[in-house]
Amino acid sequence: MNRPAQIAANLKQVKENIARSAEKAGRSIDEISLIVVTKTFPLSDLEILYELGLREFGENRDQEAVDKVDKLPKDIKWHFQGGIQSNKLKSIATWASCIHSVDQLKYAQIISDQNLATAKPIFIQLSLDEPPESRGGVDPAKLFDLAFSIEKLPGISLQGLMAVAPLTSPVSDSFERLRAIHDQFKAVYKNATYLSAGMSGDYEMAISYGATHLRIGSSILGNR
């Protein structure tokens, strides 16, 4: 099977899985955004995805993303979801339509200081690990203090929470905990209703726990 056919078949299967999982959870498919994680994949794969109608791509590294952004159509929505380095963040803020991995106030402040033409959508990354913050993300105990400070900053639009399932505990338990925290969060921050969770290995389960933004790479593009 050639590469375009392979990607098309994988994408079809993922979309069917999303639709089935949404229906099972009593949710509308319209509530769920598919972000294809394109980090480390060549430009040719992104061009295939674009021809298949995809417009939301996820990248983890500034330098790699900048090269792709310059060579692809301008209607693509780019999501940055990697670990943040302060010295790269000014550049990231220029090309990323949305930044999923803000877990410190200083990062939000750097974004705010860019004085961008429109408010930059961000997610606060929540740590589900034990101990917290061992792989990035804010400790749940510090979440509301961080959100309170971020909400005061100009030029930022807080979308909701992002999380990665931990490696050391059952995914269902972690997503159950994430949903409970997100419910509490939405009660306070009524415009921050989105939940970025679910990757290739767990996106169907993530849908049942309220995920609105799925970050899927290998299920569509294969192993790097």
When pLDDT is averaged across residues 171-199 and rounded to a whole number, the result is 97
Domain that holds residue 133: 3-221
**Whole-number Å distance between alpha carbons of 94 and 88:** 10
**Whole-number Å distance between alpha carbons of 125 and 189:** 15
How many domains does the chain divide into? 1
User: Phi/psi class of residue 158: alpha, beta or left (left: φ > 0; alpha: ψ in -120 to 50)?
Assistant: beta
**Whole-number Å distance between alpha carbons of 4 and 80:** 25
Instruction: Say which CATH number the domain at 109 has.
Output: 3.20.20.10
Q: Which residues of 189-224 are buried (b: 16+ CB within 10 A; e: fewer)?
A: beebebbbbbbbebbbbbbbbbbbbbbbbebbbeee
The predicted model scores a pTM of 0.96
- Count of alpha carbons within 13 angstroms of residue 144, beta-carbon side: 10
Which pLDDT tens digit goes with each residue over 40-74?
Answer: 999 999 999 999 999 999 999 999 999 999 999 99
Which pLDDT tens digit goes with each residue over 80-116?
Answer: 999 999 999 999 999 999 999 999 999 999 999 998 9
**Whole-number Å distance between alpha carbons of 75 and 86:** 27
